[in-house]
Structure 1
Amino acid sequence: MERMNNMAKQKTNWRWVDWLYVFTIVSQLIYIGYYLEQMLTNPKDNGTLSFAVLQVVAGLVIATLPIIIERFMPYRFPEILYAVYLIFVYCSILLGTGLHFYSRLYYWDKFLHVLSAGLLAGLGYTVFNVLISKQLRQTISALLMSLFAATFGSTIGVLWEFYEFTGDSLLGLNMQRYMAKGHLLLGQAALLDTMGDLLADVLGSCLIAIIGYFCIKHNRDWLDKLTFTKK
């Protein structure tokens, strides 16, 4: 009886971000089901469709990864960060890759760079909270914490560009958009995508850092929203 009560309690303790997770997963499953049916009826397009479906399947795993990690630790990820993470997965994998928003909307990639950089800057606050005590958090400079968050988010963005450069160099990919329709771009044209990505990363990181600075100045307890919580 006690076990049944505990199970019922767990079901009623769903957070709003859990419903966002369900929406993300169900949307991806609908996409996978629809395009699997398309692959059966239009075998000629199987190569393109199967690649898109595989990426969306990977999106299911990526969206579920924080839940898997939480099972092995006594803490929960900050709700707001997990929510933005799910939105990013939805926008980048389902909309971006699955529904071809990358090619249909010119600035979709830049929007995702701003979004991911903001997410990483928020994670920077979380990392800072882990590194210092709660007592010290009440006295440390809001500017210092915000600079750390902005630097953290921007640095991860730079490392991502290193990853893209490595992939392009070793595997002949075009992640940095240095080619157009198979032809090498020349001069600044070859740098526009990378520089645009870096600017978007800095913009997203600084935007969250500025918001965080004023929130901390107004109320130090705002940082609790970006802190791991016990289950």
Structure 2
Amino acid sequence: MRWRLPPNAGLLAAGGMRLAIAGILGVGVATLNVSVTLNAAAALAITYLPAVLSRDWGIRLSPGLTLWVTTAVLLHAVGMLGLYSNVWWYDHLTHTLSAMLVAAVGYATARAVDEYSDAVYLPPRFLFVFILTFTLAFGVLWEVLEFFARLAADYFGVEAVLVQYGLTDTIVDLLFDTVGAVIVALFGTETLSGLVDTLRERLEAARPDQQ
């Protein structure tokens, strides 16, 4: 007999990861570690985003995409326990995975608008460039946020919630952001077709009646 995963395996895995993030939050609170606590709290909140999008906006994420989101925030929360500073490649992994999520959002939104409106035409080559540009723009915004978070922490004499290690670290982070964007642009478009359809249907439902 062929062994198969249960249909809700992705959702069960996402639920288990949510419990793990809650555990990390508990560790942060117990040890009075502000950076671990705040990052774990943010990660835990993000795990509920797919359910909120489905309930309030009618935007349904597949179990695979839900698992993808949960994995990304779990790895970030785990990294705050010390892996970011002690494992040289860990930051590269989380940046690549997070960049893939940003690229997925950018691609799905642009593609949905393209399919929704006859006035918009986005050729494949443009979409490739758009995914890279969108992801890198978000990556630069994140690096700026990390920089000012470090300045604010130094000014107030508190522990930094986000850590920025210098210009070289920023350049390497943006390099791996690019890697994540390229992976989505080359291999992820088919996976995101369901999300594109959902976003297009949402746009069509919001279209004002034309009489």
- From 10, 16, 24, the counterpart of 1:23: 16
Does residue 77 of the first structure (1) align with residue 61 of the second (2)? yes
Q: 1:91-121 deviations in whole A, cap 9, x for unaligned?
A: 111x2124x2212311211211111111111
2:80 aligned with 1:97, yes or no? yes
> 2:174 aligned to 179, 186, 198, which one?
198
Q: Using structure 2 for the length normalisation, give the TM-score.
A: 0.72
Give the conservation status (yes or no) of the 8 Å contact 1:78–1:228.
no
Structure 1 match to 2:132: 150
How many Å separate the matches in 2 of 1:165 and 1:108?
Answer: 20
- In structure 1, the residue corresponding to 2:57 is in which secondary structure? coil
Among 84, 90, 97, the residue aligned to 1:115: 97
Distance in 2 of aligned mates of 1:54 and 1:151: 29
Q: How does 1:57-76 map to 2 (within 5 A)?
A: 57-76=41-60
**1:46-95 CA-partner distances (Å, limit 9, x unpaired):** 334x75345434432221133223321122135443322111011111x2
Which segments of structure 1 move beyond 4 Å, counting only runs of 4 or more? 30-33
8 Å CA contact 1:62–1:89 kept in 2: the answer is yes
Paired residues of 2:96 and 2:177 also in contact (CA < 8 A): yes
Gaps (5+ residues) in structure 1? 1-13, 40-45, 179-190, 216-220
> Is 1:227 aligned to 2:196, yes or no?
yes
The CA RMSD over aligned residues, in Å, is 3.1
Which residue in the other structure is 2:3 paired with? none
Relative to structure 1, is the Cα distance of residues 168 and 28 closer, same or farther in structure 2, using a 3 angstrom cutoff?
A: closer
Say if 1:211 and 1:58 are closer, same or farther in 2 by CA, change over 3 A.
closer
Unaligned runs of 5+ in 2: 1-6, 155-159, 203-211
Alignment-mate amino acid for residue 91 of structure 1: L
Report how many aligned residue pairs link the two structures. 186
- Separation in 2, partners of 1:222, 1:29: 29
CA change 1:155–1:16 in 2 (3 A) is: farther
Separation of aligned partners in 2, 1:97 and 1:209: 29
- Go from structure 1 to structure 2 and tell me whether the alpha carbon gap of 1:31 and 1:175 turns closer, same or farther (over 3 Å shift): closer
Report the CA distance shift for 1:78/1:157 in structure 2 as closer, same or farther (over 3 A): farther
Inter-partner Cα distance in structure 1 for 2:15 and 2:139: 28
TM-score by length of 1: 0.67
Aligned 8 A contact 1:150 1:208 in 2: no
CA distance in 1 between partners of 2:38 and 2:151 (Å): 24
